[in-house]
């Protein structure tokens, strides 16, 4: 057991390079031996990080299976997390999970005796914890970033940070480390930045803060990809730009760096639009999908109070079909128009001809019958070359009153 006031050691460069997910630095700096004796704030942060990582990845039963018998001080996790006020919103979930431990402990212990991944164990208890997990997922991102903000505001409460010579308590200092590959800029003892970390792949990571440390910018990369993220901690407003190794790019407005909130767009390597959408707290308000090479959307999805609306377009941009799917209900067609705007199914009864996305240079569509707005009978999926030749049927299904039956 270590000294109960033990602070995990870290360097400024090591801490900065975990941006924007600073809570991971705590877990990375503590070991199984040092965790139980760590000071209250880093101990709580580490236990929360372990809980959050397992529950978010695989659920409560995965948390029990991976951590209950391997994490020192497991029985004291709720009490430890309670010692960090920033984590108070998570405490009811942590407490409820740990209160259930005794009822599943024997089943988890039995699963550990098998060399197989315990999918049956997880399935047997999935329904029991489903509501709890769903409620936790709605708040976990904000809790994580509130914790990161607290680490940024008072890093010396979480770490024993190795001092750097020539960094004054007041004023500005420019520090060069590791042969010039690390360049840090301090203001009043904190690396406000820009802090630059040159990488062997020729790129460099950059981390910098506003003077009050309420706004973070971080550009990082891995295996040829690059991500630039920012977050305003008080509001949790955030955003990111990501470019993949193949040149595809995504630009998103978010909350807490994970939850889509605002405009999201992704682009092909040639700059053509691949997806666009507006989101509110992770839920799509509308999305444009399946773009033609000229940038025209072929499909728009809108979430409205009466259900999910899908609007499909002809290559000219004219409306082809509009349908609605109430939650838990059947898709019903509200409009079905030909390329000139003529109604193919007046009153919802008639012929369906639905233009689909262009794939690999080929045109796609599906054909069938509508009765009262619902698909009824055989529906066929077809495709052809861009000039209309080489027509092929790719799939067919049988519908009755809007439900697929074969």
Please check whether residues 208 and 149 belong to one and the same domain: no
pLDDT tens by residue, 144-189? 999 999 999 999 999 999 999 889 999 999 999 988 899 999 999 9
Alpha-carbon distance of 179 to 167, in angstroms, equals 18
What does the pLDDT read at residue 293? 67
- 270 pLDDT band (50/70/90 cuts)? confident
In terms of DSSP bridges, do strands 204-209 and 374-375 run parallel, antiparallel, or are they unpaired? unpaired
Query: 261 with 328: CB under 8 angstroms?
Result: no
Please check whether residues 171 and 184 belong to one and the same domain: yes
Please check whether residues 99 and 172 belong to one and the same domain: no
- 290 pLDDT band (50/70/90 cuts)? low
370-398 CB burial, b ≥16 within 10 A, e <16: bbebbbbeebebbbeeeeeeeeeeeeeee
Alpha-carbon distance of 337 to 238, in angstroms, equals 41
User: How many domains, in total, are found in the chain?
Assistant: 2
pLDDT over 90 percentage in the chain:
75
What does the pLDDT read at residue 272? 78
Calculate helix-pair angle for 91-99, 40-58, nearest 10 degrees: 70
Query: 183 with 191: CB under 8 angstroms?
Result: no
Please check whether residues 16 and 133 belong to one and the same domain: yes
pLDDT above 70 for 4:
no
pLDDT above 90 for 356:
no
In a domain, 212, yes or no: yes
In a domain, 65, yes or no: yes
Mean pLDDT of 385-395: 89
Please check whether residues 89 and 136 belong to one and the same domain: yes
Please check whether residues 94 and 173 belong to one and the same domain: no
Structure tokens at 304: 């409205």
Please check whether residues 192 and 58 belong to one and the same domain: no
- Specify the 3-state DSSP secondary structure of 137: helix
Q: Which of 1-5, 358-362, 386-390 has the highest mean pLDDT?
A: 386-390
In a domain, 300, yes or no: no
Please check whether residues 30 and 116 belong to one and the same domain: yes
In a domain, 122, yes or no: yes
Stronger pLDDT, 361 or 75, i.e. the higher one: 75
In a domain, 304, yes or no: no
In a domain, 147, yes or no: yes
Please check whether residues 26 and 129 belong to one and the same domain: yes
- Eight-class DSSP state of 233: T
In a domain, 387, yes or no: no
In a domain, 79, yes or no: yes
Please check whether residues 22 and 57 belong to one and the same domain: yes
Alpha-carbon distance of 105 to 69, in angstroms, equals 10
Distant-in-sequence, close-in-space partners of 270: CB < 8 Å, separation ≥ 6: none
Query: 6 with 39: CB under 8 angstroms?
Result: yes
Q: Which helix (H) or strand (E) holds 221?
A: strand 215-222
What does the pLDDT read at residue 1? 40
Please check whether residues 140 and 32 belong to one and the same domain: yes
pLDDT above 90 for 224:
no
Stronger pLDDT, 339 or 3, i.e. the higher one: 339
Single out the residue of 282, 299, 303, 279 nearest to residue 291, CA to CA. Answer: 299
Sign of CA dihedral 76, 79, 85, 90: positive
Distant-in-sequence, close-in-space partners of 92: CB < 8 Å, separation ≥ 6: none
Mean pLDDT of 75-90: 96
DSSP 90-113: GHHHHHHHHHTHHHHHHHHHHHHT
Domain residue limits at 196: 165-218+230-235
DSSP 356-383: EEEETTEEEEEEEEEETTEE-EEEEEEE
Query: 381 with 395: CB under 8 angstroms?
Result: yes
* Mean pLDDT for the chain overall: 92
We report the CATH number of the domain holding residue 40 as 1.20.1420
Q: What is the gyration radius of the CA atoms in the chain, in angstroms?
A: 27
Structure tokens at 219: 């550009």
Alpha-carbon distance of 62 to 60, in angstroms, equals 5
pLDDT above 50 for 2:
no
What does the pLDDT read at residue 176? 93
Please check whether residues 40 and 140 belong to one and the same domain: yes
Q: Which helix (H) or strand (E) holds 40?
A: helix 40-58
What does the pLDDT read at residue 67? 95
Structure tokens at 40: 């209250």
| Residue 244 CA neighbour count, 13 Å, CB half | 11
């Amino acid at each position: 057991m270590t000294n109960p006031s033990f602070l995990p050691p870290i360097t400024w460069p090591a801490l900065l390079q975990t941006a924007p997910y600073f809570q991971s630095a705590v877990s990375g700096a503590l070991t199984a031996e040092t965790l139980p004796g760590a000071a209250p704030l880093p101990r709580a942060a580490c236990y929360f990080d372990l809980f959050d990582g397992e529950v978010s990845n695989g659920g409560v039963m995965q948390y029990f299976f991976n951590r209950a018998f391997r994490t020192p001080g497991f029985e004291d996790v709720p009490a430890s997390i309670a010692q960090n006020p920033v984590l108070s919103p998570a405490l009811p979930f942590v407490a409820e999970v740990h209160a259930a431990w005794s009822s599943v402990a024997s089943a988890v212990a039995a699963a550990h005796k098998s060399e197989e991944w315990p999918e049956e164990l997880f399935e047997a208890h999935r329904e029991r914890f489903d509501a709890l997990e769903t409620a936790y997922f709605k708040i976990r991102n904000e809790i994580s970033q509130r914790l990161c903000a607290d680490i940024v505001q008072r890093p010396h409460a979480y770490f024993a940070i190795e001092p750097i010579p020539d960094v004054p308590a007041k004023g500005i200092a420019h520090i060069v480390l590791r042969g010039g590959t690390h360049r840090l800029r301090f203001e009043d003892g904190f690396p406000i930045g820009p802090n630059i970390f040159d990488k062997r792949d020729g790129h460099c990571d950059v981390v910098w803060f506003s003077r009050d440390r309420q706004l973070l910018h971080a550009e990082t990369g891995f295996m040829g990809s690059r991500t630039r993220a920012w977050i305003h901690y008080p509001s949790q407003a955030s955003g990111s730009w990501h470019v993949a190794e193949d040149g595809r790019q995504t630009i998103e407005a978010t909350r807490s760096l994970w939850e889509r909130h605002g405009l999201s767009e992704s682009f092909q390597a040639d700059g053509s639009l691949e997806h666009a959408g507006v989101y509110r707290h992770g839920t799509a308000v509308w999305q444009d999908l399946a773009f033609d090479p000229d940038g025209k959307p072929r499909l728009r999805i809108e979430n409205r109070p009466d259900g999910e609306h899908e609007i499909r377009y002809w290559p000219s941009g004219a409306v082809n079909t509009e349908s609605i799917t109430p939650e838990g209900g059947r898709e019903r067609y509200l409009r079905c128009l030909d390329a000139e705007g003529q109604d193919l199914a007046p009153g919802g009864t008639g012929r369906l001809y639905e233009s689909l996305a262009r794939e690999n240079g080929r045109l796609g569509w599906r054909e069938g019958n509508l009765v009262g707005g619902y698909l009824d009978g055989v529906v066929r999926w077809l495709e052809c070359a861009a000039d209309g030749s080489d027509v092929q049927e790719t799939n067919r299904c049988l519908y009755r009153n809007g439900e697929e039956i074969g």
